């Protein structure tokens, strides 16, 4: 059976979190309303009308287009990969040349074939949410119906980017000038962020050179020359670690949040430092332009904060991306060292157990006597759990890496990983029993200490499993 839909974890309209699943759901609604497959409906209702004769959502490509597709490269110096197919249509399945995207941009700008009524087009280009649900997050950039606010130096700029394994594209619109720019790359580059840096440089450079800035930039977009009263205190209140709201919190992919957390800290002069910056790979310094709103020093990115009961709970940035303050249970600065130490402890135990047995056999040492049946059962289950825990950690890392690379993982593999995780988590109880029975049975301090270390190792892996959805029955992603 198909996996259940993701759980709703935020009240509607309160926490922007860009969602491929949301676009797929919208495509499903189109199919239900029109009675046609999405690719077929969009072909005649949008692509053909706009004159996009070389574009399609059909997968694999129809014969008339199959021989025209560009090769894609996952990294510089690697062989070309084959045609990339997407399961979650329409999130990322359009194949189109730059000339067709120019026609699409013209339709959105009102200079090409109209696809929407003027009032609908205007609605599409307005922010979709306001302070009524967003609260203070509305002070920052807000997403429209499908487009991001990418304004620069007081200019109105709307855009949307997208990435696959090999292809990286971005469309920007300047509605007031009726100008559109489309950039697309068929390779990632030498480093993961190379394509992002190149696109940003091209688009920002185009805007700065060819789109005139307003004569007077609104003061609320630039802020005072010096930090206002309380700026340092507000930056200090933001300090902490944050995770992205764009995460499937109800599935095993929640563990991805361990890899992408942002640390906020107060900088000199009332500045705020995010490490890394939003959609960046390096730290970014922000200066306050008005209370609880910061702008990138020497740049355009704006970050706003939401407080609840005097405590900062979220940061808004990049229109549709919210950063949520973590709890200690989910703080990667705490969890990752604990997980690493747990794996080291369990690997040490897995080596020590057979090594000890071999040493005793070689030197004729009598094996320690277990102080009872409960102890024998517990100490028998503990090595099994330790082995399952180590294999599960390695397995989940491989699974998450594959999914992140847009590679589907067979469902039996996911069930296997989860079975290992359940055994490892259950073995935590056995390890705890072994500590208690061993201490009561007088096995000695050194052996008791060894059992405690194994218990800590199993408890550490169980912590991650429970906190990040590795035991959830929902294996959809």
Contact 404, 164 (CB under 8 A): no
CATH 3.40.710.10 for domain 20-210, yes or no, is yes
Contact 7, 249 (CB under 8 A): yes
Whole-angstrom distance, CA of residue 154 vs CA of residue 151: 6
Q: 281-303 burial string, b = 16+ CB within 10 Å, else e?
A: eeebbbbbbbebbbbbeeebbbb
- Is residue 164 pLDDT above 70, yes or no? yes
Contact 54, 96 (CB under 8 A): yes
Most confident range, picked from 209-223, 284-298, 362-376 = 284-298
- Is residue 299 pLDDT above 90, yes or no? no
Per-residue model confidence as pLDDT tens digits over 25-36: 899 999 999 999
Per-residue model confidence as pLDDT tens digits over 144-158: 999 999 988 888 999
- Is residue 237 pLDDT above 80, yes or no? yes
Which of 260-269, 358-367, 391-400 has the least mean pLDDT? 358-367
Place of tokens 């009726």: 178
Mean pLDDT across the stretch 251-270? Answer: 90
Report the pLDDT value the prediction gives residue 80, as an integer from 0 to 100.
94
Per-residue model confidence as pLDDT tens digits over 94-138: 999 999 999 999 999 999 999 999 999 999 999 999 999 999 999
Per the prediction, the chain carries an average pLDDT of: 89
Q: How far is CA 183 from CA 190, 194, 197, in A?
A: 19, 14, 12
Contact 366, 413 (CB under 8 A): no
Q: Band the pLDDT of 222: cuts 50, 70, 90.
A: low
Whole-angstrom distance, CA of residue 81 vs CA of residue 164: 12
Whole-angstrom distance, CA of residue 88 vs CA of residue 475: 16
Q: Which residues contact 261 (CB under 8 A, 6 or more apart)?
A: 241, 242, 243, 326, 331, 332, 333
Contact 166, 74 (CB under 8 A): yes
Whole-angstrom distance, CA of residue 396 vs CA of residue 398: 5
Report the pLDDT value the prediction gives residue 433, as an integer from 0 to 100.
94
Q: Give the up-direction half-sphere exposure of residue 249: CA atoms within 13 A in the CB hemisphere.
A: 12
What is the rounded radius of gyration, in angstroms, for the C-alpha atoms of the chain? 27
Q: Band the pLDDT of 48: cuts 50, 70, 90.
A: very high
- 123: helix, strand or coil: helix
Q: Band the pLDDT of 225: cuts 50, 70, 90.
A: low
E strand or H helix at 172, and its extent? strand 168-174
Whole-angstrom distance, CA of residue 97 vs CA of residue 90: 17
Q: Retrieve residue 108's tokens.
A: 């959105």
Report the pLDDT value the prediction gives residue 153, as an integer from 0 to 100.
82
- 308: helix, strand or coil: strand
Mean pLDDT across the stretch 404-422? Answer: 89
Q: Retrieve residue 372's tokens.
A: 């009872």
- 307: helix, strand or coil: strand
Nearest C-alpha neighbor of 320 from the set 160, 108, 99, 111 = 160
Beta-strand relationship, 293-296 and 284-290: antiparallel
Q: Band the pLDDT of 369: cuts 50, 70, 90.
A: low
- Structural domain boundaries of the chain? 20-210, 219-326, 331-467
E strand or H helix at 425, and its extent? helix 411-440
Report the pLDDT value the prediction gives residue 366, as an integer from 0 to 100.
56
- In degrees, rounded to 5, the angle at the alpha carbon of residue 77 between the alpha carbons of residues 76 and 78 is 95
Report the pLDDT value the prediction gives residue 218, as an integer from 0 to 100.
58
More confident residue, 299 or 159: 159
Q: Structure pTM? A: 0.84
Mean pLDDT across the stretch 420-449? Answer: 91
- Dihedrals φ, ψ of 473, to 5°? -70, -15
Whole-angstrom distance, CA of residue 235 vs CA of residue 105: 40
Q: How far is CA 180 from CA 62, 108, 185, 275, 378, in A?
A: 28, 9, 17, 32, 67
């Amino acid at each position: 059976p198909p996996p259940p839909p993701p759980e709703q974890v935020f009240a509607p309209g309160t926490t922007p979190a860009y969602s491929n699943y949301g676009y797929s759901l919208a495509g499903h609604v189109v199919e239900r309303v029109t009675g046609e497959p999405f690719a077929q409906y969009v072909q005649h209702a949008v692509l053909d009308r706009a004159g996009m004769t070389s574009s399609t959502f059909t997968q694999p490509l129809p014969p008339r287009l199959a021989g025209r597709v560009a090769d894609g490269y996952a990294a510089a110096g690697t062989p070309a990969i084959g045609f990339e197919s997407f399961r979650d249509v329409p999130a990322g399945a359009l194949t189109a040349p730059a000339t067709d995207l120019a026609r699409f941009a013209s339709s959105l700008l009102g200079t090409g074939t109209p696809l929407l009524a003027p009032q609908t087009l205007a609605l599409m280009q307005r922010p979709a949410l306001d302070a009524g649900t967003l609260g203070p997050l509305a002070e920052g950039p807000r997403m429209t119906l499908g487009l991001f606010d990418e304004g620069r130096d007081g200019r109105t700029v709307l855009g949307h980017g997208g990435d696959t394994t090999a292809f990286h594209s971005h469309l920007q619109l300047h509605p007031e000038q009726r100008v559109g720019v489309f950039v697309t790359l068929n390779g990632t580059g030498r480093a993961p962020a190379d394509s992002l840096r190149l696109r940003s440089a091209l688009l920002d450079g185009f805007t700065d050179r060819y789109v005139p800035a307003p004569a007077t930039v609104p003061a609320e977009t630039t802020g005072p020359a010096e930090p206002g009263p309380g700026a340092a205190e507000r930056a200090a209140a933001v300090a902490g670690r944050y995770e992205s709201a764009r995460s499937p919190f109800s599935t095993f992919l929640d563990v991805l949040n361990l890899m992408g957390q942002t640390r906020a800290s107060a900088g000199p002069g009332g500045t705020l430092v995010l490490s890394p910056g939003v959609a960046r790979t390096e730290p970014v310094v922000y200066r306050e332009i008005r209370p609880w709103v910061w702008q990138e020093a020497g740049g355009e990115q704006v970050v706003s904060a939401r407080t609840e009961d005097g405590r900062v709970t979220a940061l808004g940035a990049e229109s549709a991306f919210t950063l949520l303050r973590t709890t200690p249970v989910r703080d990667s600065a705490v969890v990752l060292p604990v997980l690493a130490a747990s794996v080291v402890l369990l690997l040490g135990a897995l080596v020590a157990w057979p090594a000890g047995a071999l040493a005793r056999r070689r030197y004729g040492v009598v094996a320690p006597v277990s102080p009872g049946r409960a102890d024998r059962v517990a100490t028998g289950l503990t090595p099994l759990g330790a082995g399952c825990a180590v294999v599960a950690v390695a397995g989940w890392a491989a699974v998450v890496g594959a999914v992140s690379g847009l590679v589907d993982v067979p469902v039996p593999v996911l069930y296997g990983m989860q079975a290992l995780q359940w055994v490892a988590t259950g073995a935590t109880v056995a390890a705890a029993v072994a500590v208690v029975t061993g201490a009561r049975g007088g096995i000695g301090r050194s052996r008791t200490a060894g059992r405690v270390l194994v218990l800590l190792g199993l408890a550490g892996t169980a912590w991650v499993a429970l906190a990040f959805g590795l035991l959830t029955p929902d294996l959809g992603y």
